Amino acid sequence: MTLPPEPDAGFSLLWPQQWPPDPARLRLGVMASGEGSNFEALVQASRQGPLQAEVVQLVVNNPACTASLRARRLGVPCSLLDHRRQPDRGALDREIAGLFAQREVDLVVMAGWMRIVTPVLIQAFPGRLINIHPSLLPSFRGLDAVGQALAAGVRLSGCTAHLVEEEVDAGPILAQASVPVLDDDDHASLSARIQRQEHRLLPLAVALAAAQLQP
């Protein structure tokens, strides 16, 4: 299935453009720190769209994030694992990995997770940990990728879904979507345009990652 064009994005380039053959139904774990719009996009793609999956667990690290409110509305179990209450990053990741193991999660998606993960989590889900980043990697890695793009004056930006490795924002790319940077763009307008593409790209990336795991 090819993703339809997105008119208000100007254009969208996706690679690859075709959905892979449907894998067995996946059990997804999602990690979020903020609004949770990508989390909801995954839930909707699983329930109403082409993604053969079920989001069985959301983990949030911020008590004030609105992702947990979306989980309640959507009927998805949500656990708060506050990083402020952990002695170090590794301890937090051990709790996350243990929770996802209990929930028998196949793939883990970092959907706006504003923490650098450690080898503890990466090694618990090798080749099964996905991140979405608001730039066309390898450009503008790290914090505030949208601000970096605006400061650099690029005419093309977008988002990248990739597998997570120990080097930040450097794992194998699963899929990318591009958007134009308009003359009157500010941080909010460009972020919104990129986010619309993230919502479309992330379910595809999950399907692609799952296809790579098929024997």
Which residues carry out catalysis?
A: 133
Report residue 213 as tokens: 């795991």
CA angle 213, 36, 135 (to 5 degrees): 65
- The answer to whether the CB of 160 falls within 8 A of the CB of 188 is no
Distance CA 86, CA 91 (A): 6
Torsion of CA 145, 150, 156, 157, to 10 degrees: 20
Alpha-helical segments (H) within the chain: 37-48, 67-74, 89-102, 119-124, 145-152, 187-213
Distance CA 145, CA 134 (A): 6
133 has which bridge partners? 160
Query: Which residue, among 71, 64, 38, 50, has the nearest Cα to 4 in the 3D structure?
Result: 50
